[in-house]
Amino acid sequence: MAELLEIRDIAKSREHVPVLRGVNLSLAEGEVLGLVGANGVGKSTLMAILAGDLRPDTGQMRLSGEPYAPHDNDEARRHGVGIIRQQFRLDPGQTVAQAIFRESFHAGRPHEELRRPAAQLLRDVGTEISADTLLGDLRRAEHAIIESVRMLAEDAQVVIMDEVGSTFNVREIDDLHFITSRLTSQGRAVIYISHRLTEVKAVSDRVVVLREGRVSAELDPYRVSTDDIAEAMIDRRPGELVRVSHVVDEPVLEVSGLRVADAVHGVDLKVRRGEVVGLVGARRGGMYELVGALVGQFPMTAGTVLVQGEPRVINSPADATALRIGYFSDDDDELGLSNSESIARNLMIGGWDEGVDFETEVAALRDVIETIQRLNVRAVSIQRGVGDLSGGDRQKIALTRWMTEDRDVLILNEPTRGLDIGAREDVLQILGEHTEAGRSAIIVSSDLEDIVAWCDRVVVMRDGVIVDDLSTQGLSADALDSRVHPLPQGTRTAGGSTAFG
């Protein structure tokens, strides 16, 4: 295969702190290159340089044999480099068709002219998303599928996918793999960044490990295990995820006959003290509307809720908070972090409130430093803004903040998205401390391996009802997947074409 991209000695510092220290990398036509590394090692910074968002301090790049040094994203796109960013934003007022073609030469054409070719692309991929749907009516993971389909509609020869599948379920990952196959069959190349190592191993032709700002290893995914990849990333093999159950047979949250518009149809659910309950299902199974009702984001149209055995009404997020129910959203904009505020201020809940004495403030700062060290957050100073951190490190800060708040029931929606293997182990330990103290949790996740490892029980929803309530003891992720997606996936090929007419 002919070489498409060459990166030589790329270095980049931010405020005199080295992020990249001489990266050397190559990419061939038709290749999927898996790029992995712990949170904060510079993966997104390197991709930002490729996409024209940042300029390197030193080093050179060549694209199709020609010097390549884009000044901005538009210039990179003109040269054939496209990117799906880790924290992308789409216009909720656009249709799916408009979003797919928004950066192609068809941008600006009326929806009616775009819907047919968009529908063809969506059918080729196998997704059930309609070209006519408004983006505001779709979930984050569905936006990511649309962003991936957008790459098929554009002329990019190098496609960067930065954590695009971090909240995908198994079937959506199949769709994503199909898209990468279509791209590479056309001679394009893909740089695929993910912390889901099984996924990286399955989709990549070659895996490169970035560590301390340098390429530290190049691995053949057909000859190594996911544990081998993890060891190259964090210098140790991942530990056995063993969680001690702290369940007490005392209900803290009970719902009966709960209904939410057309999404949830008479659900009964009980969560006991110290219990971790997993909630899984197909994307439109009703899980998100169920937890949305429990935290006051969606109105209940019927049903009763008991909290600590007492009937309660939850009409708003404030009601849920008053009942000591916390919610960690899958939407980064709802996590309560202020990018302009320091890491310390984001983590010091109550530690810098007006009137706090000096000893309390010092103790709070000590806790912040301990948290930073425990989760291996790569920060020069706790006074640096959260916005300066990598996406994964921001996720750690937000998750820790929520999990250490004083809540009886914590609802976590995709809590491990974007976290490396070491951080997942740390978060599992924090969850164990949470339940040992008599608190409970509901985890909504597309990562079935996390659900099996982290939960005492898992509830499967389909078409707005609970179809399974299973103990996780002895349950495998594959067995759980067969309950979540009982119908076999259809066979597809990487061929097909889309035309305007």
| Predicted confidence (pLDDT) at residue 494 exceeds the cutoff of 50 | no
pLDDT in the model for residue 442: 96
Residue 31, pLDDT above cutoff 90: yes
pLDDT, tens digit (0-9, with 9 covering 90-100), for 456-475: 999 999 999 999 999 999 99
Region 215-241: what's the mean pLDDT?
Answer: 88
The pLDDT > 70 percentage for the chain reads: 85
Percent of the chain with pLDDT over 90: 57
* Residues in the chain, overall count: 501
pLDDT score recorded for residue 497: 45
Residues 354-373 pLDDT 10s: 555 556 666 666 777 777 77
pLDDT, position 493: 44
Categorize the per-residue pLDDT at 333 as very low, low, confident or very high, splitting at 50, 70 and 90: low
Residue 255 pLDDT: 96
- Single-letter code of the amino acid located at 464: G
Judge whether 413 and 339 are in contact, CB under 8 Å.
Answer: no
**Does position 32 have pLDDT exceeding 80, yes or no?**
yes
Quick one: pLDDT at residue 10?
A: 97
| Dist CA 402 CA 398 (whole Å) | 6
- How many C-beta atoms lie closer than 10 Å to residue 493's C-beta? 10
Query: What is the model's pLDDT at position 185?
Result: 93
Tell me the pLDDT tens digit for each residue of 394-443: 777 777 776 667 789 999 988 888 788 877 877 787 888 889 989 999 99
Residues contacting residue 240 through CB under 8 Å, at least 6 positions apart: none
Beta carbons of 230 and 197 less than 8 angstroms apart = yes
The whole model's pTM is what? Answer: 0.81
Q: Which domains does the chain have, with CATH numbers?
A: 3-234 (3.40.50.300), 248-484 (3.40.50.300)
210, 46 contact by CB (below 8 A): yes
CB 159 within 8 A of CB 190: yes
**What is residue 469's predicted lDDT score, i.e. its pLDDT?**
96
Structure tokens at 442: 């509901």
State the pLDDT at residue 243: 72
> Over 60: is that where the pLDDT of 74 sits?
yes
What are 489-496's contacts with CB under 8 Å, separation 24+?
Answer: 489/171, 489/174, 490/126, 492/124, 492/126, 492/178, 494/178, 494/181, 494/182, 494/185, 495/185, 496/120, 496/124, 496/182
Residue 353 has pLDDT above 60, yes or no: no
Say if residues 342 and 379 touch (Cβ distance below 8 Å): no
Report the pLDDT averaged over residues 59-74: 95
pLDDT tens-digit map of 262-299: 899 999 999 999 999 999 998 889 999 999 999 999 99
User: Are 444 and 413 within 8 A, CB to CB?
Assistant: yes
Residue 455: predicted pLDDT = 94
**Of 195-209, 334-348, 393-407, where does mean pLDDT reach its minimum?**
334-348
pLDDT of residue 485: 84
Q: What is the pLDDT of residue 62?
A: 96
Grade residue 496 by pLDDT with cuts at 50, 70 and 90: very low
pLDDT on residue 222: 95
d(CA 117, CA 101): 10
Mean pLDDT, to the nearest integer, of 328-333? 71
pLDDT of residue 396: 74
For residue 207, what are its two tokens?
């895996």
**What contacts 205, CB < 8 A, 6 or more positions away?**
31, 32, 33, 221
- Per-residue DSSP letter, 277: E
Helix (H, G, I), strand (E, B) or coil at 319: helix
pLDDT at 351 over 70: no
Return the pLDDT at 495: 47
pLDDT band per the 50, 70, 90 thresholds, residue 350: very low
Report the chain's mean pLDDT, rounded to a whole number: 86
